Copies of this chain bind each other. A is one copy, B any other.
Amino acid sequence: MSVDRMDTYATLYARFKSEIDSRLSEVVAQEKPVSIFEPARYILGSGGKRIRPVLLLSSCLAAGGDVENAYDAATAVEILHNFTLVHDDIMDNAPARRGQKTVHEQWDANIAILLGDELMGLAYRQLLRTTSNRLTDILKCFTEGVIEVCEGQALDKEFESAGAVSMDQYWEMIQKKTGRLMVMSADIGAMIAEARDEHHRGIIEYATHIGLAFQVLDDLLDTVADDSFGKVIGRDIQEGKKTFLLVDAMEHARGEALEWLRNVGLRRVTGDDVVKKTTALFHELGSIDRARGQVAVRTEKSLAALRSLPDGEGKGMLEWFARMLLHRSI
Protein backbone atom coordinates (compact mmCIF):
# COMPACT_ATOMS: atom_id res chain seq x y z
CA MET A 1 0.00 0.00 0.00
CA SER A 2 1.47 3.38 -0.94
CA VAL A 3 1.97 6.09 1.65
CA ASP A 4 -0.65 8.22 -0.12
CA ARG A 5 -3.29 5.52 0.15
CA MET A 6 -2.44 5.01 3.81
CA ASP A 7 -2.91 8.73 4.40
CA THR A 8 -6.31 8.50 2.75
CA TYR A 9 -7.41 5.76 5.12
CA ALA A 10 -6.04 7.52 8.18
CA THR A 11 -8.03 10.56 7.09
CA LEU A 12 -11.17 8.50 6.57
CA TYR A 13 -10.68 6.93 9.99
CA ALA A 14 -10.33 10.38 11.54
CA ARG A 15 -13.50 11.52 9.77
CA PHE A 16 -15.49 8.49 10.95
CA LYS A 17 -14.21 8.98 14.47
CA SER A 18 -15.01 12.66 14.63
CA GLU A 19 -18.50 12.09 13.24
CA ILE A 20 -19.13 9.41 15.87
CA ASP A 21 -17.75 11.61 18.64
CA SER A 22 -20.04 14.42 17.63
CA ARG A 23 -23.10 12.14 17.59
CA LEU A 24 -22.17 10.76 20.98
CA SER A 25 -22.03 14.31 22.36
CA GLU A 26 -25.56 14.89 21.12
CA VAL A 27 -26.76 11.71 22.82
CA VAL A 28 -25.49 12.88 26.19
CA ALA A 29 -26.34 16.57 25.84
CA GLN A 30 -29.48 16.02 27.95
CA GLU A 31 -29.23 17.75 31.36
CA LYS A 32 -31.44 15.69 33.64
CA PRO A 33 -31.32 13.43 35.55
CA VAL A 34 -27.92 14.87 36.48
CA SER A 35 -26.90 11.63 38.19
CA ILE A 36 -27.07 9.84 34.83
CA PHE A 37 -26.01 12.45 32.29
CA GLU A 38 -22.98 13.83 34.08
CA PRO A 39 -21.30 10.38 34.20
CA ALA A 40 -22.64 9.68 30.70
CA ARG A 41 -20.73 12.68 29.33
CA TYR A 42 -17.69 11.62 31.35
CA ILE A 43 -17.52 8.12 29.88
CA LEU A 44 -18.62 8.85 26.31
CA GLY A 45 -16.36 11.88 26.15
CA SER A 46 -13.29 10.06 27.42
CA GLY A 47 -12.00 9.08 24.00
CA GLY A 48 -11.34 5.56 22.87
CA LYS A 49 -10.50 4.27 19.42
CA ARG A 50 -14.16 3.85 18.38
CA ILE A 51 -13.18 0.52 16.84
CA ARG A 52 -16.68 -0.98 16.60
CA PRO A 53 -18.42 1.96 14.91
CA VAL A 54 -15.51 2.36 12.48
CA LEU A 55 -15.77 -1.34 11.68
CA LEU A 56 -19.50 -0.94 11.08
CA LEU A 57 -19.05 2.07 8.81
CA SER A 58 -16.16 0.51 6.89
CA SER A 59 -18.10 -2.72 6.41
CA CYS A 60 -21.05 -0.77 5.08
CA LEU A 61 -18.76 1.09 2.67
CA ALA A 62 -17.00 -2.10 1.56
CA ALA A 63 -20.34 -3.73 0.79
CA GLY A 64 -21.33 -0.82 -1.42
CA GLY A 65 -23.57 0.97 1.07
CA ASP A 66 -23.94 4.64 1.91
CA VAL A 67 -22.26 5.35 5.26
CA GLU A 68 -24.69 8.19 5.91
CA ASN A 69 -27.36 5.53 6.59
CA ALA A 70 -25.05 3.75 9.00
CA TYR A 71 -24.10 6.50 11.47
CA ASP A 72 -27.00 5.90 13.85
CA ALA A 73 -26.21 2.19 14.07
CA ALA A 74 -22.50 2.97 14.43
CA THR A 75 -23.26 5.34 17.30
CA ALA A 76 -25.46 2.64 18.86
CA VAL A 77 -22.70 0.01 18.90
CA GLU A 78 -20.31 2.47 20.54
CA ILE A 79 -22.89 3.31 23.23
CA LEU A 80 -23.44 -0.41 23.78
CA HIS A 81 -19.69 -0.98 24.05
CA ASN A 82 -19.49 1.73 26.72
CA PHE A 83 -22.33 0.08 28.62
CA THR A 84 -20.21 -3.09 28.81
CA LEU A 85 -17.17 -1.10 29.97
CA VAL A 86 -19.04 0.64 32.80
CA HIS A 87 -20.59 -2.56 34.15
CA ASP A 88 -17.50 -4.75 33.61
CA ASP A 89 -15.36 -2.20 35.45
CA ILE A 90 -17.59 -2.54 38.52
CA MET A 91 -17.38 -6.34 38.38
CA ASP A 92 -13.62 -6.30 37.76
CA ASN A 93 -13.09 -3.67 40.46
CA ALA A 94 -11.07 -1.68 37.91
CA PRO A 95 -9.76 1.64 39.21
CA ALA A 96 -9.01 3.42 35.92
CA ARG A 97 -9.77 3.40 32.21
CA ARG A 98 -8.49 5.60 29.38
CA GLY A 99 -6.34 7.48 31.89
CA GLN A 100 -9.17 8.54 34.17
CA LYS A 101 -11.00 7.02 37.13
CA THR A 102 -13.69 4.50 36.27
CA VAL A 103 -17.31 5.63 36.78
CA HIS A 104 -17.86 3.62 39.96
CA GLU A 105 -14.66 5.12 41.39
CA GLN A 106 -15.42 8.69 40.37
CA TRP A 107 -19.04 8.38 41.59
CA ASP A 108 -20.19 5.06 43.08
CA ALA A 109 -21.37 1.60 42.04
CA ASN A 110 -25.06 2.60 42.07
CA ILE A 111 -24.44 5.42 39.62
CA ALA A 112 -22.41 3.08 37.42
CA ILE A 113 -25.13 0.41 37.41
CA LEU A 114 -27.78 2.93 36.48
CA LEU A 115 -25.61 4.61 33.86
CA GLY A 116 -24.95 1.26 32.20
CA ASP A 117 -28.66 0.48 32.11
CA GLU A 118 -29.47 3.87 30.62
CA LEU A 119 -26.72 3.43 28.01
CA MET A 120 -28.30 0.18 26.89
CA GLY A 121 -31.63 1.99 26.42
CA LEU A 122 -29.93 4.88 24.60
CA ALA A 123 -28.14 2.41 22.32
CA TYR A 124 -31.44 0.86 21.23
CA ARG A 125 -32.99 4.33 20.79
CA GLN A 126 -30.14 5.29 18.48
CA LEU A 127 -30.27 2.02 16.54
CA LEU A 128 -34.02 2.41 16.03
CA ARG A 129 -33.37 5.64 14.11
CA THR A 130 -31.81 3.61 11.29
CA THR A 131 -33.76 3.55 8.05
CA SER A 132 -33.47 0.08 6.55
CA ASN A 133 -35.68 -2.62 5.12
CA ARG A 134 -33.78 -5.01 7.33
CA LEU A 135 -34.31 -3.13 10.59
CA THR A 136 -35.82 -6.15 12.37
CA ASP A 137 -32.84 -8.32 11.41
CA ILE A 138 -30.50 -5.56 12.54
CA LEU A 139 -32.26 -5.39 15.91
CA LYS A 140 -32.13 -9.15 16.29
CA CYS A 141 -28.42 -9.17 15.52
CA PHE A 142 -27.84 -6.36 18.03
CA THR A 143 -29.88 -8.15 20.70
CA GLU A 144 -28.05 -11.45 20.23
CA GLY A 145 -24.87 -9.39 20.59
CA VAL A 146 -26.06 -7.96 23.92
CA ILE A 147 -26.88 -11.45 25.20
CA GLU A 148 -23.61 -13.01 24.07
CA VAL A 149 -21.52 -10.23 25.54
CA CYS A 150 -23.21 -10.77 28.92
CA GLU A 151 -22.66 -14.51 28.64
CA GLY A 152 -19.01 -13.98 27.66
CA GLN A 153 -18.51 -11.76 30.70
CA ALA A 154 -20.17 -14.45 32.86
CA LEU A 155 -17.76 -17.08 31.52
CA ASP A 156 -14.81 -14.76 32.13
CA LYS A 157 -15.90 -14.30 35.76
CA GLU A 158 -16.55 -18.05 36.17
CA PHE A 159 -13.04 -18.75 34.86
CA GLU A 160 -11.57 -16.60 37.64
CA SER A 161 -12.26 -19.31 40.19
CA ALA A 162 -11.63 -22.23 37.80
CA GLY A 163 -8.39 -24.16 38.31
CA ALA A 164 -7.90 -24.88 34.63
CA VAL A 165 -9.50 -23.59 31.46
CA SER A 166 -9.10 -25.41 28.15
CA MET A 167 -8.14 -23.65 24.93
CA ASP A 168 -11.63 -24.40 23.57
CA GLN A 169 -13.21 -22.69 26.56
CA TYR A 170 -10.87 -19.74 26.10
CA TRP A 171 -11.88 -19.31 22.45
CA GLU A 172 -15.55 -19.60 23.32
CA MET A 173 -15.22 -16.96 26.01
CA ILE A 174 -13.35 -14.37 23.93
CA GLN A 175 -15.50 -15.07 20.90
CA LYS A 176 -18.47 -13.98 23.03
CA LYS A 177 -16.89 -11.32 25.20
CA THR A 178 -14.72 -9.53 22.64
CA GLY A 179 -15.42 -11.04 19.26
CA ARG A 180 -19.20 -10.78 19.26
CA LEU A 181 -19.49 -6.98 19.26
CA MET A 182 -16.97 -6.77 16.42
CA VAL A 183 -18.77 -9.36 14.31
CA MET A 184 -22.10 -7.75 15.16
CA SER A 185 -20.80 -4.34 14.06
CA ALA A 186 -19.55 -5.68 10.73
CA ASP A 187 -22.74 -7.69 10.24
CA ILE A 188 -24.97 -4.66 10.81
CA GLY A 189 -22.83 -2.54 8.49
CA ALA A 190 -23.26 -5.16 5.77
CA MET A 191 -27.02 -5.40 6.42
CA ILE A 192 -27.45 -1.64 6.10
CA ALA A 193 -25.56 -1.83 2.81
CA GLU A 194 -27.82 -4.71 1.73
CA ALA A 195 -24.64 -6.58 0.89
CA ARG A 196 -24.69 -9.51 -1.51
CA ASP A 197 -24.45 -12.82 0.38
CA GLU A 198 -20.92 -13.51 -0.78
CA HIS A 199 -19.69 -10.10 0.38
CA HIS A 200 -21.64 -10.37 3.60
CA ARG A 201 -20.00 -13.72 4.42
CA GLY A 202 -16.55 -12.32 3.64
CA ILE A 203 -17.10 -9.33 5.93
CA ILE A 204 -18.29 -11.52 8.81
CA GLU A 205 -15.34 -13.87 8.42
CA TYR A 206 -13.01 -10.87 8.36
CA ALA A 207 -14.51 -9.50 11.59
CA THR A 208 -14.44 -12.90 13.30
CA HIS A 209 -10.68 -13.20 12.83
CA ILE A 210 -10.10 -9.55 13.74
CA GLY A 211 -12.04 -9.93 16.98
CA LEU A 212 -10.14 -13.00 18.12
CA ALA A 213 -6.75 -11.64 17.05
CA PHE A 214 -7.50 -8.37 18.82
CA GLN A 215 -8.10 -10.16 22.12
CA VAL A 216 -5.04 -12.44 21.82
CA LEU A 217 -2.99 -9.33 21.07
CA ASP A 218 -4.45 -7.62 24.11
CA ASP A 219 -3.48 -10.63 26.22
CA LEU A 220 0.01 -10.55 24.72
CA LEU A 221 0.48 -6.83 25.32
CA ASP A 222 -0.18 -7.36 29.01
CA THR A 223 3.10 -9.23 29.13
CA VAL A 224 5.37 -7.99 26.36
CA ALA A 225 4.37 -4.37 25.69
CA ASP A 226 7.13 -1.88 26.28
CA ASP A 227 6.59 1.00 28.67
CA SER A 228 5.81 3.42 25.87
CA PHE A 229 2.56 1.54 25.26
CA GLY A 230 1.12 2.98 28.45
CA LYS A 231 -0.18 -0.26 29.89
CA VAL A 232 0.62 -1.59 33.34
CA ILE A 233 2.62 -4.70 32.52
CA GLY A 234 1.53 -7.95 34.14
CA ARG A 235 -1.85 -6.87 35.53
CA ASP A 236 -3.54 -9.94 33.98
CA ILE A 237 -0.92 -12.20 35.57
CA GLN A 238 -1.40 -10.61 38.97
CA GLU A 239 -5.15 -11.09 38.68
CA GLY A 240 -4.86 -14.70 37.55
CA LYS A 241 -6.75 -13.96 34.35
CA LYS A 242 -7.24 -16.86 31.99
CA THR A 243 -5.52 -15.20 29.05
CA PHE A 244 -4.32 -16.92 25.90
CA LEU A 245 -0.84 -17.02 27.44
CA LEU A 246 -1.85 -18.65 30.71
CA VAL A 247 -4.21 -21.15 29.09
CA ASP A 248 -1.66 -22.07 26.43
CA ALA A 249 1.20 -22.30 28.93
CA MET A 250 -0.83 -24.58 31.19
CA GLU A 251 -1.50 -26.86 28.24
CA HIS A 252 2.24 -27.16 27.59
CA ALA A 253 3.71 -27.15 31.09
CA ARG A 254 4.52 -30.17 33.25
CA GLY A 255 5.58 -30.71 36.86
CA GLU A 256 6.66 -27.69 38.87
CA ALA A 257 5.99 -25.21 36.05
CA LEU A 258 2.40 -26.43 35.75
CA GLU A 259 1.96 -26.21 39.49
CA TRP A 260 3.23 -22.63 39.45
CA LEU A 261 0.91 -21.61 36.61
CA ARG A 262 -2.06 -23.25 38.31
CA ASN A 263 -1.33 -21.18 41.39
CA VAL A 264 -1.02 -18.03 39.28
CA GLY A 265 -4.49 -18.77 37.88
CA LEU A 266 -5.88 -19.18 41.37
CA ARG A 267 -4.09 -16.04 42.61
CA ARG A 268 -2.22 -18.11 45.16
CA VAL A 269 1.18 -16.64 44.40
CA THR A 270 2.36 -13.26 45.58
CA GLY A 271 5.50 -11.19 45.51
CA ASP A 272 7.35 -8.87 43.19
CA ASP A 273 8.79 -11.59 41.01
CA VAL A 274 5.47 -13.25 40.08
CA VAL A 275 5.13 -11.30 36.86
CA LYS A 276 8.78 -11.81 35.98
CA LYS A 277 8.81 -15.54 36.66
CA THR A 278 5.49 -16.14 34.91
CA THR A 279 6.55 -14.11 31.87
CA ALA A 280 9.75 -16.15 31.69
CA LEU A 281 7.67 -19.34 31.70
CA PHE A 282 5.45 -17.97 28.92
CA HIS A 283 8.60 -17.45 26.83
CA GLU A 284 10.16 -20.82 27.67
CA LEU A 285 7.01 -22.79 26.98
CA GLY A 286 6.54 -21.10 23.61
CA SER A 287 3.29 -19.39 24.56
CA ILE A 288 4.49 -15.93 23.55
CA ASP A 289 5.48 -17.25 20.13
CA ARG A 290 2.20 -19.09 19.69
CA ALA A 291 0.23 -15.96 20.66
CA ARG A 292 2.22 -13.95 18.09
CA GLY A 293 1.56 -16.71 15.58
CA GLN A 294 -2.19 -16.55 16.29
CA VAL A 295 -2.26 -12.79 15.74
CA ALA A 296 -0.29 -13.10 12.50
CA VAL A 297 -2.30 -16.00 11.11
CA ARG A 298 -5.63 -14.46 12.00
CA THR A 299 -4.61 -11.12 10.54
CA GLU A 300 -3.76 -12.89 7.28
CA LYS A 301 -7.02 -14.83 7.37
CA SER A 302 -9.00 -11.66 7.99
CA LEU A 303 -7.40 -10.06 4.94
CA ALA A 304 -7.90 -13.19 2.84
CA ALA A 305 -11.60 -13.18 3.74
CA LEU A 306 -11.94 -9.86 1.90
CA ARG A 307 -10.85 -11.36 -1.42
CA SER A 308 -14.39 -11.68 -2.73
CA LEU A 309 -15.12 -8.00 -2.14
CA PRO A 310 -14.79 -5.49 -4.97
CA ASP A 311 -11.67 -3.34 -4.82
CA GLY A 312 -12.25 0.19 -3.66
CA GLU A 313 -12.15 2.57 -0.74
CA GLY A 314 -14.26 0.33 1.55
CA LYS A 315 -12.19 -2.81 1.08
CA GLY A 316 -8.98 -0.78 1.33
CA MET A 317 -10.25 0.74 4.55
CA LEU A 318 -10.97 -2.69 6.06
CA GLU A 319 -7.46 -3.85 5.11
CA TRP A 320 -5.86 -0.74 6.56
CA PHE A 321 -7.99 -1.06 9.70
CA ALA A 322 -6.94 -4.68 10.32
CA ARG A 323 -3.28 -3.71 10.05
CA MET A 324 -3.76 -0.63 12.23
CA LEU A 325 -5.46 -2.66 14.96
CA LEU A 326 -3.26 -5.72 14.90
CA HIS A 327 0.19 -4.31 14.26
CA ARG A 328 0.38 -2.61 17.60
CA SER A 329 3.83 -2.82 19.17
CA ILE A 330 4.41 -6.55 19.71
Contacts and interface: CB of A to CB of B under 8 A. Distances in A.
A92 to B, nearest CB: 9
Contact of A110 (B34, B35, B91, B122): B91
Interface in A149-195: 150-151, 153-155, 157-158
A81 to B, nearest CB: 13
Nearest to A140: B128
Interface in A103-140: 109-110, 113-114, 116-118, 120-122, 124-125, 128, 135-136, 139-140
Nearest to A84: B117
Contact of A33 (B33, B110, B154): B154
A144 B126 CA distance: 11
A67 interface: no
A124 B124 contact: yes
* Chain A interface extent, by class: 35 or more
Contact of A154 (B36, B91, B147): B36
Contacts of A147: 118, 121-122, 125
B128 A113 contact: no
B124 A139 contact: yes
Nearest to A124: B143
B146 A121 contact: yes
B158 A146 contact: no
Contact of A146 (B109, B116, B124, B135): B124
A87 B113 CA distance: 7
Contacts of A155: 33
Top 5 nearest A-B pairs by Cβ distance?
A33-B154, A121-B146, A121-B147, A118-B150, A124-B143
